[in-house]
Amino acid sequence: MEGSPASPAPASPQVIREGDWAVLKRNEVFKAVAVAKRRKIIFEKQWFCLDNAIGQPYGTTFEVTGGGSLQPKKRGEEVPTETKEAGADNRNIVDDGKSQKLTHDDIKALKDKGIKGQEIVQQLIENSTTFRDKTEFSQDKYINKKKKKYEAVITIVKPSTRILSTMYYAREPGKINYLRYDTLAQMLTWGNVRAGNKMIVMETCAGLVLGAVMERMGGYGHVVHMYPGGGPVRTATSCFGFPESFFQTLYEFPLSKVNSVLSGTFSLTTLPSEPEESMAVTEGSSGSADVKQPSVQGADVECSAELATEGDQPDEQEMMDVPPEGEALDNHEAKGTTAEKQQKQEKRRKKLIEAAALLKDKDADGLIIASRFHPAPLLLSLLEFVAPSRPFVVFCQYKEPLLECYSKLREKGGVVNLKLSEAWLRHYQVLPDRSHPKLMMSGGGGYLLTGITVINEEIKTGDPTQQKAGEPTSKKRKLQEHD
């Protein structure tokens, strides 16, 4: 396809390799980690190393054994836990803390002997004086509770949009502006994101939306990431583990230079000089270094909130285990040589020129906005770069800013099929004789404003053939005034 870069490298094998990003899963808890040897990882109060996981296929379930090593768990290895005959009800059960004969010291001794968690659960059942009096439903709850506590079973899965969005929304939804995964899926669908497109993405969701767009495009086409402040924040994007070819299709452009591109006055000479302390290098999953960019004085695109820099983002350590300095995937020297700095700065300037050239063509195939700033000024400015008959999607946690966007677009024209919708999702528990909606679920998934761009031709006054639809003719207007 015209304008597309060279074909990306073939997809990496579906096995865990050193240097990859992976997601640890235990029940409904996720954590993104960088795979490296001889690194201690703490997850759900368990510590272990990923040395034995390297070379195993993604989706493998491991059991944490003594010494923090992982051993693959075979599918037929698990034996059903023996249960007793269920009682009629729980009315005679008293929770006095004396129903369990095994003490904490006894359980600790079992763990020190290397006894598996499943056997510990079985002994807890046999030494419980009230287990047989519980109902079948209560017995199942008791067994599941003890399994979660004593069975150290971890599944390693390959990062994806669904998994990472679920991880962020469950633990730190504020970092992604409370963007739920079903809402993100609608954004990708309404935005017609596909391979070969030229997409413009403006987001402040830690790079989650950007990563979802790049994953959907598969390394073909162009993605222009518009960022506020001194540099882009793409913490979640690095967790996808994209190959280097994907980042060759990614371009960054500051919001402060949008109006200069529209007016044709864009020049790199207007960019401030980059100080040495701002040349810190952050390592991506593919080994490519992203240079933190200097703060830009002034902003052409007006925002209702302060432009944020990378320092405004919350700590990601809760959900991601990033290798400490000295153990990074391809750790560089502290500041590097002057020649390296100049080379990185020249590479950044070249990318900015290429991004400006992509924007100047004004033929983008789509626009996606998911920002904590007011969307109206962003949308009105960035729509100028979108070609006619192309979709755009705007996400906001609240309805009122999108209503303002809706009114301004109707007044300005140039768009059709405007639609403001609310995302809604409900989870169900499906079990024998007790299927019902889950008691704990999200209250709202935010709002989406979607539409399609068209050519906005000015209507000449006095020409009846170019009269706006619905506008009364002069004769009808006179009759209305007479009435």
Instruction: Give first-to-last CA distance, the chain, whole Å.
Output: 61
What are the backbone dihedrals phi and psi of residue 309, each rounded to the nearest 5 degrees, phi first? -110, 180
Please report which confidence band the pLDDT of residue 277 belongs to, taking 50, 70 and 90 as the band edges. very low
Please report which confidence band the pLDDT of residue 130 belongs to, taking 50, 70 and 90 as the band edges. confident
pLDDT at 107: 79
Please report which confidence band the pLDDT of residue 240 belongs to, taking 50, 70 and 90 as the band edges. very high
| pLDDT(222) > 90 | yes
Please report which confidence band the pLDDT of residue 83 belongs to, taking 50, 70 and 90 as the band edges. low
Residue 28 corresponds to which amino acid? Answer: E
pTM of the model: 0.75
Q: Which of 9, 407, 43 is nearest to 245 (CA)?
A: 9
- Mean pLDDT for the stretch of residues 12-33: 86
Please say whether the beta carbons of 168 and 319 come within 8 A.
yes
Give tens-digit pLDDT for 400-425: 999 999 999 999 999 999 999 998 88
Exposure of 239 in the CB half-sphere (CA atoms within 13 A): 33
Q: How many CB atoms lie within 10 A of CB 100?
A: 15
Out of 39-53, 131-145, 208-222, 406-420, which region has the weakest mean confidence (pLDDT)?
131-145
Question: In angstroms, rounded to a whole number, what is the distance separating the alpha carbons of residues 89 and 292?
Answer: 63
Please report which confidence band the pLDDT of residue 139 belongs to, taking 50, 70 and 90 as the band edges. confident
Out of 230-244, 284-298, 362-376, which region has the weakest mean confidence (pLDDT)?
284-298
Give tens-digit pLDDT for 340-399: 888 888 888 888 999 999 999 899 999 999 999 999 999 999 999 999 999 999 999 999
pLDDT at 227: 92
Question: In angstroms, rounded to a whole number, what is the distance separating the alpha carbons of residues 121 and 151?
Answer: 8
Look at 334 and 219; give whichever has higher pLDDT.
Answer: 219
Question: In angstroms, rounded to a whole number, what is the distance separating the alpha carbons of residues 274 and 433?
Answer: 65
What are the backbone dihedrals phi and psi of residue 102, each rounded to the nearest 5 degrees, phi first? -75, 135
- Mean pLDDT for the stretch of residues 180-189: 95
Residue 207 corresponds to which amino acid? Answer: G
Look at 408 and 140; give whichever has higher pLDDT.
Answer: 408
Pairing of strands 281-283, 29-34: unpaired
- Mean pLDDT for the stretch of residues 97-103: 78
- Mean pLDDT for the stretch of residues 321-328: 48
Question: In angstroms, rounded to a whole number, what is the distance separating the alpha carbons of residues 201 and 443?
Answer: 27
Please say whether the beta carbons of 50 and 33 come within 8 A.
yes
| pLDDT(293) > 50 | no
Architecture per CATH, 161-428: 3-Layer(aba) Sandwich (3.40)
447 DSSP assignment: E
pLDDT more than 90, % of the chain: 37
260 DSSP assignment: H
Please report which confidence band the pLDDT of residue 203 belongs to, taking 50, 70 and 90 as the band edges. very high
Q: Which of 297, 267, 451, 321 is nearest to 36 (CA)?
A: 321
What are the backbone dihedrals phi and psi of residue 268, each rounded to the nearest 5 degrees, phi first? -70, -15
Look at 391 and 333; give whichever has higher pLDDT.
Answer: 391
Give tens-digit pLDDT for 444-468: 889 999 999 998 775 444 454 444 4
Please report which confidence band the pLDDT of residue 474 belongs to, taking 50, 70 and 90 as the band edges. very low
| pLDDT(157) > 80 | yes
The runs of H, that is alpha helices, within 151-294 are: 161-171, 181-190, 208-217, 235-239, 244-248, 258-263
Question: In angstroms, rounded to a whole number, what is the distance separating the alpha carbons of residues 27 and 120?
Answer: 19
Question: In angstroms, rounded to a whole number, what is the distance separating the alpha carbons of residues 81 and 139?
Answer: 11
pLDDT at 163: 94
268 DSSP assignment: G
Average per-residue pLDDT for the chain: 77
Question: In angstroms, rounded to a whole number, what is the distance separating the alpha carbons of residues 262 and 243?
Answer: 33
pLDDT at 290: 36
pLDDT at 13: 60
Question: In angstroms, rounded to a whole number, what is the distance separating the alpha carbons of residues 362 and 2?
Answer: 16
Domain assignments of the chain as residue spans, ordered by start: 77-153, 161-428
Q: Can you say how many angstroms the Cα of residue 74 is from the centroid of all Cα atoms in its chain? A: 32
pLDDT at 76: 53
